[in-house]
Structure 1
Amino acid sequence: MSYSFTLPNIRAEAAGLWRLAWPVLVGQLASVGMGVADVAMTGHASADELAAVSLGASVWSIVIVTVMGIVMAINSIVAHDVGGNELGKIPHTVRQSLWMALGVGVVAAALINLATLLFDHLYLTPHVQAQASRFVHMISIGLPAFAAYRALYGYSASINQTKPVMVIAILGLCFNVVVNWLLIFGNLGFPALGGVGCAVATGLCMWLMLGTMLVWMRISPAYRPTYPFTHWEWPHWPEIRYMLKLGLPIGITYFAEVSVFGSVSLLIARYGVVQVSAHQIALNFASLVFMVPLSFGIGLITRVGHAVGEGNPERARFVAWVGVAMALSFSILSALFILVFRQQIAQAYTSDPQVQQLCAHLLLYAALFQLSDATQVATSSAIRGYKVTRPPMQIQLLSFWGFALPLGYVLGMAPAGLSWAPAAPMAADGFWIGLVVGLTIAAVLLSWSLNRLSLQRVRQGARAAVSTATAGHGALH
């Protein structure tokens, strides 16, 4: 069947992607809400507790995003099996993905605890250093559960079951807020743990979400054809190595992106409270808006994987570009929204006039990179739907660490000895220009890569069809 880019075909595919993506979007927003609740509620405890949670959460966010990327390999594997109507393979794949996730979660827990040694070199007060370390130690208990939950999350999304993800994320947010209230402030007779209470709440929340997903899978009829927990199965190392081969490049990509944004925040901090506050506000709002194209991207891995799995490269190409167009269309709206309401956005975050003014200015850059940010996440996700993960990693490493951060450093810091550096440091402006350039390079290269890959698969499919037809014709004679 030919998949031409006609309006009825585009509408039908857009509707299918939206049905898959909107529960993911609500779930992503609920997950982000946990971090917002941690910071907002700890801020009412004390400035020291807020500083400790901010430090601990910065390490935690890098680790969980990397873990999420590694485990995401299951999305495309299961999607291919669904598309190829090979449902019998899925239970084995899910069982092995859980073994992989358990290993990744344990290793991540060990690494995040070692990372607390960095706090010894940040010139913190003894109380903040101790609380930040305790925060990390306590929250790490949730990492194995988080990794296993994300494996089941990917399995669920790939069989078109995204509403459970949404419901469980909302449940997790509610649980997190209630336990924060109990443990941060010591309400109802519970001990007042301050920022460490956030860590306990989040760690327990990860286990609650995993348990809820397991129960949902057990009772929902939608999971019965591929239910993975029918019998015990030991690790199958070739299968796990294959998953890691697909997942590690995604994890490295996510780590590179998050670490660049984190590095920018640290470098801007030397220019004072106004600069770093305005930067954090603008980045926070841009990250919130980014949840929409990210949700389209997660849906694209499933939609493209289904098409490739069923052996229909024309449909896979059609699905990929419709998804990219949807993400790009939303980014145009979000860019216009930011341009028009940037003053009001800044005022909603802070009452400081200087921070408001600079934040509104930085939001101009945020509006500018909406198009490239949405394009890069949609195209890289579509490519992963083909079970191709290394090219997006290479492109995004080049874009973020080869262009965005070095250019931002030169413009923002104006190091001596560079003839093309500005006469004076541009501070936050320089770093945001670097981010715009890096994201634009990523969007262009990933679009080219997706176009090349999808055309290549269409041509391979056409050649295979001709060979099959020729062989069949020869057999008749």
Structure 2
Amino acid sequence: MPHTFTFPNIRREIAALWQLAWPVLVGQLATVGMGVADVAMTGHTSADELAAVSLGASVWAIILVTVSGVMMAINSIVAHDVGAGALDKVPHAVRQALWKALAVGVTAAALANLATLVFDYLYLTPHVHRQASLFVHIISIGLPPFAAYRALYGYSTSINQTKPVMVIAILGLLFNVFVNWLLVFGNWGLPALGGVGCAVSTGLCMWLMLAAMIVWLRVAPAYRATYPFTHWEWPHWAEIAPMLRLGLPIGVTYFAEVSAFGAVSLLVARYGVVEISAHQIALNFSSLTFMVPLSFGIALITRVGQAMGEGLPVRARFVAWIGVGMALAFGVLSALLMVLCRHQIAAAYTSDPAVQALCAYLLVFAALFQLSDATQVATSSAIRGYKVTRAPMLIQLLAFWGVALPLGCWLGLGHDMAAAGFWIGLTIGLTVAAVLLSWALARLAVQRVREA
């Protein structure tokens, strides 16, 4: 059988999934690289500026990733249409997704600005408080174009066009680093804005990436059969509502995970600049390695969705577990990298000896949850390929807000373990998510095969 777990079949599927995933991976690394550049470049100004960017980036990351999740509904919808051969449905779905993006992006920008009120309740110096709030206020201008970009991103990857998102993300990273160099340090006679310069750069970069994607869709031949900008179309609630029902649970799922990490960043702030900075660097590097299994997950949504659109649930199950295995294999490699190179990683981010020492210690905990983190993102993505989004949402809420955060608070605050206590809680929460999501995927895959 073409989808049994034999070595030739596994090798072919790994090659097919990698062919789809590697441009997504490069694009994701470039996108996350913007955040890495913000933190790393600010880290060489002052500890106060780094703390301000770390706090502002925590709020930004929560909102940004939630928007990505809400907009991810278009991935499954287009993948199923492509698998079923219904290419005529794709342009209409993309146009409606862009109307949805407008509403989501504006709402997200408003929520990001309101979220800065939480800084009033933290033990921050006036300078750090002011800079962190200003960072969020400025960078929020990038949320509406980012939501629209993610709609077009999902459309492109779901018709097997992943290289454009890679190229555009690389251009965005180069733009971000260059403008950071100008504004953070005050080169070429420009004012040295510190962390605020990062916010200006990233906000502008979101608009640049959206414009580049629109131009690419217009000129590339691969999009002609499904090109969405052939005519004007008003929003249709009957079409947008199902997208929201599919996308909102994904957004909540992403929010559950990222907000737990973000909440930890805010809670760690009470322990001072060194704890904030070390935690943020360790989290930032963990986010960088996380892009690899996340890219496998995005490819899995397309592969599983297309298989289900073709009416092949056995193939969908085969694809899903191969993707999970690939993500898990990388988790082992990233864990070894963090343990063996933790001191070098810390030194690349900051020259402060105290921050370096604590960051190297926290990276040990980051290494521990690499296996669980890779497994949970791959399994949840495979489940979304089946157009099922509520089960991952409930599991993630339980794992992060029912286990990770309470346990982290108990250890970090109650037992005075500071950042280390929170990282132990996150590790256990991710393990709970990985186990439950693996069980949910196995159950769903068998159910779909039986229904067929």
- TMscore range, shorter length: over 0.9
Whole-angstrom distance in 1 between the partners of 2:320 and 2:204: 37
Residues 2 and 314 in structure 1, CA contact (< 8 A), matched pair in contact too: no
Whole-angstrom distance in 1 between the partners of 2:201 and 2:357: 36
Q: Which residue of the partner structure matches residue 304 of structure 1?
A: 304
Residues 156 and 162 in structure 2, CA contact (< 8 A), matched pair in contact too: yes
Whole-angstrom distance in 2 between the partners of 1:441 and 1:184: 40
Whole-angstrom distance in 1 between the partners of 2:268 and 2:29: 27
Q: Which residue of the partner structure matches residue 287 of structure 1?
A: 287
Superposition pairs for residues 67-466 of structure 1, below 5 Å?
Answer: 67-122=67-122, 124-272=124-272, 275-349=275-349, 356=356, 358-414=358-414, 424-461=415-452
Whole-angstrom distance in 2 between the partners of 1:348 and 1:178: 19
Report the CA distance between 1:116 and its aligned residue.
2.8
Report the CA distance between 1:406 and its aligned residue.
1.2
Render the CA deviation track for 1:190-249: whole Å, top value 9, x for unaligned: 455443332222222111111110110000000001001111110010111100101111
Quickly say closer, same or farther: Cα 1:192–1:379, change in 2 above 3 A.
same
Q: What SS class does the counterpart of residue 387 from structure 1 fall into?
A: coil
Render the CA deviation track for 1:27-71: whole Å, top value 9, x for unaligned: 111111112222333445555544443332222111111111100
Quickly say closer, same or farther: Cα 1:337–1:205, change in 2 above 3 A.
closer
Whole-angstrom distance in 1 between the partners of 2:448 and 2:236: 30
Quickly say closer, same or farther: Cα 1:433–1:178, change in 2 above 3 A.
closer
Whole-angstrom distance in 2 between the partners of 1:45 and 1:348: 14
Q: Which residue of the partner structure matches residue 474 of structure 1?
A: none
Whole-angstrom distance in 1 between the partners of 2:368 and 2:120: 39
Q: Which residue of the partner structure matches residue 473 of structure 1?
A: none
Q: Which residue of the partner structure matches residue 469 of structure 1?
A: none
Report the CA distance between 1:281 and its aligned residue.
3.5
Q: What SS class does the counterpart of residue 160 from structure 2 fall into?
A: coil
Residues 51 and 273 in structure 2, CA contact (< 8 A), matched pair in contact too: no
1:55 maps onto 2:55 in alignment: yes
Quickly say closer, same or farther: Cα 1:445–1:8, change in 2 above 3 A.
same
Report the CA distance between 1:287 and its aligned residue.
2.0
Residues 380 and 446 in structure 1, CA contact (< 8 A), matched pair in contact too: yes
Q: What SS class does the counterpart of residue 417 from structure 2 fall into?
A: coil
Residues 47 and 277 in structure 2, CA contact (< 8 A), matched pair in contact too: no
Quickly say closer, same or farther: Cα 1:186–1:372, change in 2 above 3 A.
closer
Report the CA distance between 1:438 and its aligned residue.
1.0
Quickly say closer, same or farther: Cα 1:78–1:215, change in 2 above 3 A.
same
Q: What SS class does the counterpart of residue 149 from structure 1 fall into?
A: helix
Render the CA deviation track for 1:286-307: whole Å, top value 9, x for unaligned: 2221111111011111110010
Whole-angstrom distance in 1 between the partners of 2:351 and 2:47: 18
Report the CA distance between 1:168 and its aligned residue.
0.3
Render the CA deviation track for 1:302-355: whole Å, top value 9, x for unaligned: 110010111100000000000001111111222233333444444544566665
Whole-angstrom distance in 2 between the partners of 1:408 and 1:53: 23
**Count of aligned pairs between the two proteins:** 452
Quickly say closer, same or farther: Cα 1:440–1:22, change in 2 above 3 A.
same
Whole-angstrom distance in 2 between the partners of 1:137 and 1:428: 27
One-letter code of the match for 1:61?
Answer: A
One-letter code of the match for 1:268?
Answer: V
Residues 186 and 193 in structure 1, CA contact (< 8 A), matched pair in contact too: yes
Whole-angstrom distance in 1 between the partners of 2:432 and 2:114: 35
Structure 2 residues not aligned, in runs of 5+: none
Q: What SS class does the counterpart of residue 228 from structure 1 fall into?
A: coil
> Which has the higher mean CA deviation after the structures are superposed, 240-249 or 195-204?
195-204
Report the CA distance between 1:132 and its aligned residue.
3.3
Greater length-normalized contact order (CA 8 Å, ≥ 6 residues apart): 2
Q: Which residue of the partner structure matches residue 465 of structure 1?
A: none
Q: Which residue of the partner structure matches residue 15 of structure 1?
A: 15
Q: What SS class does the counterpart of residue 307 from structure 2 fall into?
A: helix
Whole-angstrom distance in 2 between the partners of 1:265 and 1:311: 45
One-letter code of the match for 2:230?
Answer: T
Report the CA distance between 1:101 and its aligned residue.
0.4
Quickly say closer, same or farther: Cα 1:280–1:211, change in 2 above 3 A.
closer
Residues 54 and 276 in structure 2, CA contact (< 8 A), matched pair in contact too: no
One-letter code of the match for 1:373?
Answer: D
Q: What SS class does the counterpart of residue 233 from structure 1 fall into?
A: coil
One-letter code of the match for 2:132?
Answer: A
Whole-angstrom distance in 2 between the partners of 1:308 and 1:18: 20
Percent of residue pairs identical: 77
Q: What SS class does the counterpart of residue 262 from structure 1 fall into?
A: helix
Report the CA distance between 1:139 and its aligned residue.
1.8
One-letter code of the match for 1:134?
Answer: L
Structure with the greater alpha carbon radius of gyration:
1
One-letter code of the match for 1:90?
Answer: V
> Which has the higher mean CA deviation after the structures are superposed, 232-241 or 282-291?
282-291
Whole-angstrom distance in 2 between the partners of 1:352 and 1:144: 36
> Which has the higher mean CA deviation after the structures are superposed, 131-140 or 37-46?
37-46
Residues 249 and 389 in structure 2, CA contact (< 8 A), matched pair in contact too: yes
Residues 269 and 275 in structure 2, CA contact (< 8 A), matched pair in contact too: yes
Whole-angstrom distance in 2 between the partners of 1:289 and 1:146: 22
One-letter code of the match for 1:447?
Answer: S
Whole-angstrom distance in 2 between the partners of 1:102 and 1:177: 27
Q: What SS class does the counterpart of residue 251 from structure 1 fall into?
A: helix
Whole-angstrom distance in 1 between the partners of 2:25 and 2:425: 28
RMSD: 2.2
One-letter code of the match for 1:448?
Answer: W
Whole-angstrom distance in 1 between the partners of 2:431 and 2:93: 36
